[in-house]
Structure 1
Amino acid sequence: MDRDTLLLRALAQIVSDERLRARFLALTGLDPETLRARAGAPETLEAVGAFLAGHEPDLVAVATALGVEPSALCGPS
């Protein structure tokens, strides 16, 4: 699976969890409508990787939910 697809799946995990969604929106400054419109944009996907890299427990939780190694979500593109 390519990295963009993986980060898009990670974004889906983030927005499905109320706590993660609220934190992601607060840290990125995005609102729900803008996030929906820009979900697949490169800058949004990079924000997902940076968001997860910034808090290891969330990174591990999302990686586990997706069945991937944490480094796949926040490693180099």
Structure 2
Amino acid sequence: QFGFYAIMYGVCVLSASVAIMNILPFPALDGCKVIFTLIEWVRGKPINRKVENIIHFAGLIVLLALAVILDLVHFLA
């Protein structure tokens, strides 16, 4: 049933979805790194790496917490 083009279409949709998700300016995603680079460019000096790492770690915790909460909501519904 599924031909080569259907599989390639699915791969393309998945790749585009991951790209869009990664470019969002949210900590722990690549889009936030772009924001930090722009801030460094405007300020003319680098951001403290410890502060940047803390922000990325906090963003990762938020993303993981949202994933767990959504799983619990779907499980309990």
TM-score (norm 1): 0.32
RCO comparison, higher one (Cα < 8 Å, 6+) = 1
TM-score (norm 2): 0.32
Q: Which has the larger radius of gyration?
A: 2
